[in-house]
Amino acid sequence: MDKKIPDFRKKVLLSCFRGVINITTPNNAGTQNTVYFVKTNTGDFVAKFGCRDMVLKNCIAARLAGRHGISVPDVSTAEYNGQWIETYPMISGKTLFERIRSGMPEPAVRLAFENMLTQFVYMGNIQMPAKQPINNKCFEIHNTTYEHTKNSNGAAMAMVLRPIVYMLNRGRAHNSGLYHSDMSPKNVIVNEKGHIVSIIDMDSMTVCNRDFAFSAIADKWCEMGFNLNELYDKYEYLSNHQINRIRIGGMLRTIHLGKYLMFKTNKHRQK
C-alpha cells in the first residue's frame, strides 16, 4: 500500500471495503488528496473522503442524474467513526483531457464536446425533489465550491472564491438547476471516438445557474482554439433555448481571474 496514505484513512478504507488487496493514490496532476483507488477481491473502486453533507449530496445528485439519462458513476456512501466516503466502481477508459494530450483527432474532440452539450441539456430537465436535498447546504454552488476548493487549494482560497461564486449565480430562478459546474475534459471519460463513458467529479454536480455551468464548457472549448459562437449555436440547437452570451463572456473573464489567483496561491504554497 502507498506509504503516503495517512493511517486513519487506511483504517477507514479497510473497514468500509471487504477483501482489500491494495490502496493507492491517483497519479493525475490536480487530483484532490482525498481520492484513493481501492483494489479488492471483488473489483476496483474509487473512494473519496468528504464532509457528510458533500458525500450525501453527491450520492443523491448521481442518482437524479442517472434517472435522466446522464452518464455518471454509480455512487454509494459509507461511514466509519465519523469519516464519510463516497465510492463507486472504477471506470475504465481515459478522460478527454488524456485523449487530447495523446493526439485525439479534431473531429473526435468536437464530437466529444457535442456529446457533453447533449448531457448538459439533459441536466436542464432534472426536477429537484421537493423534500430531501433542500436542507443540504452542499446543494448550493457557493458552499460546494468552498468544500471543493478547500481540499484542493486550501481554506484561504476557498474563502475568497465562495462569495464570488455566490454573486455569479444570482439571477432568475428558471435558469437554475442541477448542473455539473465543471464539465471540463478532465472530468469526462470518453472512448477513442469521442462518445462519453462517464462524467466524474460529483462534487461539481450541484444547484447552480445554467450560464455559470455552461461557462466551464465554453472555457475549455476556447482553449482548444474553437469558435465560441459555434458552441453557443450547438447548444441552442440541441436545447431549443437561447443562452445569455454576454453574461457567459463576463463569467469567462472571471474564470480566467480565478485561475490566475489559484496559480499564484499554489506557487506561494510551494515555496
Within-domain flag for 248: yes
- 218 plus 261 within the same structural domain: yes
pLDDT recorded at residue 3: 76
Q: Are strands 20-24 and 35-40 parallel, antiparallel or unpaired?
A: antiparallel
- 178 plus 124 within the same structural domain: yes
pLDDT at 151 over 90: no
pTM to 2 decimal places: 0.87
- 85 plus 183 within the same structural domain: no
pLDDT at 193 over 90: yes
Q: How confident is the model at residue 134 (pLDDT cuts 50, 70, 90)?
A: low
Q: How confident is the model at residue 40 (pLDDT cuts 50, 70, 90)?
A: very high
pLDDT at 266 over 80: no
**Mean pLDDT confidence for 67-86:** 96
The torsion region of residue 103 among left (phi > 0), alpha (psi -120 to 50) and beta comes to left
| Domain end among 30, 57, 89 | 89
Q: Position of cell 474532440? A: 109
Closest CA to 38 of 50, 51, 47: 47
pLDDT recorded at residue 108: 97
- 162 plus 255 within the same structural domain: yes
- 207 plus 77 within the same structural domain: no
Range of the domain at 71: 7-89
Read off the pLDDT of residues 46-74 as tens digits, 9 standing for 90 and up. Answer: 999 999 999 999 999 999 999 999 999 99
**Mean pLDDT confidence for 5-31:** 87
- 73 plus 119 within the same structural domain: no
Alpha carbon 155 to its chain centroid, in Å, reads: 19
pLDDT at 130 over 70: no
pLDDT recorded at residue 210: 92
pLDDT at 149 over 80: no
pLDDT at 28 over 70: no
Q: What are phi and psi of 12, to 5 degrees?
A: -65, -50
pLDDT recorded at residue 260: 63
- The CATH number of the domain holding residue 224 is 3.90.1200.10
Within-domain flag for 137: yes
Within-domain flag for 188: yes
Q: What percent of the chain has pLDDT over 70?
A: 89
pLDDT recorded at residue 96: 97
Average pLDDT, the chain: 88
| Domain end among 89, 107, 131 | 89
Closest CA to 48 of 66, 65, 33: 33
Q: Are 19 and 42 in contact (CB under 8 A)?
A: yes
pLDDT recorded at residue 133: 47
pLDDT recorded at residue 139: 86
The rounded distance, in Å, linking the Cα atoms of 156 and 33 is 17
- 72 plus 99 within the same structural domain: no
| Domain end among 89, 118, 147 | 89
In the chain, the number of structural domains is 2
- 217 plus 114 within the same structural domain: yes
- 21 plus 100 within the same structural domain: no
Neighbour count for residue 133 (Cβ, 10 Å)? 18
Within-domain flag for 162: yes
Stronger pLDDT, 143 or 41, i.e. the higher one: 41
Within-domain flag for 116: yes
Within-domain flag for 2: no
- 137 plus 246 within the same structural domain: yes
Three-state SS annotation for the chain = CCCCCCHHHHHHHHHHCCCEEEEECCCCCCCCCCEEEEEECCEEEEEEEECHHHHHHHHHHHHHHHHCCCCCCCCEEEEECCEEEEEEECCCCEEHHHHHHCCCCHHHHHHHHHHHHHHHHHHCCCCCCCCCHHHCHHHEHHHHHHHHHHHHHCHHHHHHHHHHHHHHCCCCHHHEEEEECCCCHHHEEECCCCCEEEECCHHHEEEEEHHHHHHHHHHHHHHCCCCHHHHHHHHHHHHCCCCCHHHHHHHHHHHHHHHHHHHHHHHHHHC
CA atoms within 13 A on the CB side of 200: 24
pLDDT at 89 over 90: yes
Within-domain flag for 1: no
- The CATH number of the domain holding residue 29 is 3.30.200.20
- 64 plus 101 within the same structural domain: no
- At residue 106's C-alpha, the angle toward residues 225 and 194, to 5°, is 120
pLDDT recorded at residue 194: 96
- 76 plus 102 within the same structural domain: no
In order of 42, 121, 244, 253, the CA distances from 260 in angstroms are 43, 30, 25, 11
